[in-house]
């Protein structure tokens, strides 16, 4: 399997799972880019053996909204250093593509795909998940910050090892600081996900992230 196939599958799944929703002709498009770092920790339990790895990783995000439709992309890459039980480190590459709707200002519903790869000297382990996601968000007193909580579940998935997906779910919580009428903001977040394959392999990733964002127009809660 070529290295580009997980990304292609992610795009195909995102388009296939996208919910239909009418566009608002009155609302102008809005876009934002985030860049920063995430302190990532990965635990893998397979064949009765546990491995733990951690590393700082690059985190990038892009968002686009038009009316009540939205698109979001996330990319994470880092070199995991071996910890308890791990024989060797490995590269981590993770990408997410979501499309969705915002039926109310405080709620967005998204669907799409997540592709992840662990790259070792002896080969690469890849998987792709089709995910459903809900996010609730609200402005905090003072209007300078917003908080959001996100939960997702994956009803389908595939792996280049041929293992079947047992279950996969995850979540995220974040606080976004955004001065009024400014195009810049900062976000502090925590995310965790757990994926189990074939009844014998379980992967858990958690991370604390800090990113700086710029967007037009200067509107939070994109």
Domain boundaries defined on the chain? 5-19+29-216
The answer to whether the beta carbons of residues 196 and 166 sit under 8 Å apart is yes
The separation between CA 22 and the C-alpha centre of its own chain, rounded to angstroms, equals 25
- Residue 212, both tokens: 């700086």
pLDDT tens by residue, 115-133? 999 998 889 999 999 999 9
190 close to 38: Cβ distance less than 8 angstroms: no
Nearest-5° Cα angle at 95, 91 to 98: 170
Give the list of residues 6+ apart from residue 181 with CB closer than 8 angstroms, or none.
Answer: 218
CA–CA gap between residue 79 and residue 87 (Å, rounded): 14
pTM over 0.75: yes
Distance of CA 170 to the CA centre of its chain: 9
What does the pLDDT look like over 38-85, one tens digit per residue? 999 999 998 888 999 999 999 999 999 998 999 999 999 999 998 887
19-35 pLDDT per residue, tens: 444 444 445 678 889 99
Third-level CATH fold of 5-19+29-216? Lipocalin (2.40.128)
């Amino acid at each position: 399997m070529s290295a580009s196939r997980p990304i292609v599958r992610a795009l195909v799944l995102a388009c296939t799972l996208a919910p239909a929703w009418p566009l608002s002709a009155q609302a102008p498009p809005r876009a934002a880019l985030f860049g920063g770092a995430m302190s990532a920790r990965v635990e893998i339990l397979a064949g009765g053996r546990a491995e733990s790895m951690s590393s700082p990783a690059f985190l990038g995000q892009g968002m686009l909204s038009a009316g009540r439709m939205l698109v979001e992309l996330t990319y994470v890459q880092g070199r995991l250093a071996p910890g308890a039980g791990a024989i060797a480190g490995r590269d981590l590459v993770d990408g997410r593509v979501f499309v969705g709707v915002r039926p109310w200002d405080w709620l967005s519903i998204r669907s799409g795909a997540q592709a992840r790869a662990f790259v070792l000297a002896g080969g690469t382990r890849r998987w792709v998940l089709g995910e459903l996601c809900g996010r609730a968000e609200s402005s905090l007193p003072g209007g300078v910050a917003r908080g959001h909580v996100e939960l997702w579940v994956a009803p389908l998935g595939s792996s280049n090892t041929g293992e079947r997906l047992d279950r996969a779910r995850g979540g995220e919580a974040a606080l976004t600081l955004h001065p009024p009428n400014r195009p810049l903001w900062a976000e502090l977040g925590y995310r965790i996900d757990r994926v189990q394959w074939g009844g014998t392999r379980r992967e858990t990733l958690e991370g604390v992230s800090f990113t700086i964002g710029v967007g037009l127009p200067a509107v939070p809660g994109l």
